[in-house]
Amino acid sequence: MDDPAEALAYDAIDHRAVNARFVDDFLSCAARPRRVLDLGVGTGQIAVALAARVSGLSVTGVDLSPAMLDVARRNIAAAGLDGRVSLVHADTKALPFAPGSFDAVMSNSLVHHVADVARFFDALAYVAGETAALFVRDLARPESVEAVEALVARWARDEDATGQALFRASLGAALTVDEVRAACDRAGLVDVTVSMTSDRHWTLSRPGA
C-alpha cells in the first residue's frame, strides 16, 4: 500500500484479536526472543503488541512501503516504544542483515504479496541461518473456486464488493502448504514445520536453538 490514505484505512481496521493470537503463537514458538526481525511490518501493530508484551525485547521491522512505515512510526511513538521498535525501508527479498543478527524472525500476511517467492525464502533462510526461531503465517490458496467463495462468504460477508474482491484476489495469490514446503526445501530451510493452522492460513514455524 503506497498510498497514505490506504495505509491509514488499513491501520484503522480492528486487528487486535488477530494480532494478539499471532503474538501468542509466536511466543509459543520462540520462547525467549530478544532480537526479533518482523518482515512486512506494515503499520507496526504486531511489532508494537509484541514489544509491549515482552520487556527487554527489541523488534526491527522491514517494509517496502513508505506510507505503511510512516503510519508505523506514529504507532510506535504513541506506544512509547521508539527505543525498542525500529523500522527499515527495504525489500524483504534482499535483506540488509547478516546471519545471526536476530534470534527470531516473524512475518504475517506478507508472502502472498511477494512476486518472487523463491527470492523471499532464500532471503529468509539466509538471515535466519540455522539457529533463529521462525514464525511465518499467511493465507493458503484454496483448491477450488467453490472453496474460495465459501471463504469469502464466511470471512468477508460484511465487506463491500471491493473488500470481498481484494480478499478473493489475496486467496488466489496465496501459496498452498505443499508449495511452501517446496520453497523451504529449495531455500535450504532446515527443521521447519509447515501446516494449516486455520481454514485459510498456513504457518511455518521453527523453535530457536
Give pLDDT tens digits along the chain (209 positions): 566 767 666 656 656 788 899 999 999 999 889 999 999 999 899 999 999 999 999 999 999 999 899 989 999 999 999 999 999 999 999 999 999 999 999 999 999 999 899 999 999 999 999 999 999 999 999 999 999 999 999 998 888 887 788 889 999 999 999 999 999 999 999 899 999 999 999 999 999 76
Please tell me whether residues 85 and 13 are part of one structural domain. Answer: yes
Same domain, 168 and 180: no
Q: Do 146 and 167 have their domain in common? A: yes
91 and 80 in a single domain? The answer is yes
Residues 52 and 150 in one domain: no
pLDDT, residue 122, reads 96
Among 198, 176, 29, 177, which residue's Cα sits nearest to residue 104?
29
Angle, helix 145-155 to helix 161-173, in steps of 10 degrees: 130
56: cell is 527487554
Does residue 121 sit in the same domain as residue 165? Answer: no
| Residues 26 and 72 grouped into a single domain | yes
Task: Describe the crossing of helices 4-12 and 66-78 by its angle, rounded to 10 degrees.
Answer: 40
22 shares a domain with 66: yes
CA distances in angstroms from 52 to 27, 32, 69, 121, 171, listed in the order given? 13, 14, 19, 28, 31
Clarify whether residues 79 and 165 are in a common domain. Answer: no
Q: What is the pTM of this model?
A: 0.92
- Assess contact for 1 and 7: CB atoms under 8 A: yes
Residue found by looking up cell 505443499 in the block: 178
Angle subtended at Cα 170 by Cα 168 and Cα 174, rounded to the nearest 5 degrees = 120
Q: Specify the CATH number for the domain of residue 52.
A: 3.40.50.150
Same domain, 95 and 157: no
Nearest residue to 89 via CA among 120, 59, 123, 64: 64
Q: What distance in Å separates the CA atoms of residue 43 and residue 78, rounded to the nearest whole number?
A: 12
- pLDDT score at 141: 97
126: containing domain: 4-140+175-206
Are 110 and 168 members of one domain? no
Measured at the CA of 108, the angle between CA 51 and CA 67, to 5 degrees, comes to 80
pLDDT in the model for residue 78: 96
Clarify whether residues 202 and 146 are in a common domain: no
For every residue of 10-27, DSSP letters joined together read HHHS--HHHHHHHHHHHH
Q: Taking the CB of residue 26, how many other CB atoms lie within 10 A of it?
A: 26
Whose CA is closest to 95, among 149, 53, 132, 147?
132
Number of domains in the chain: 2
CA angle 201, 100, 125 (to 5 degrees): 40
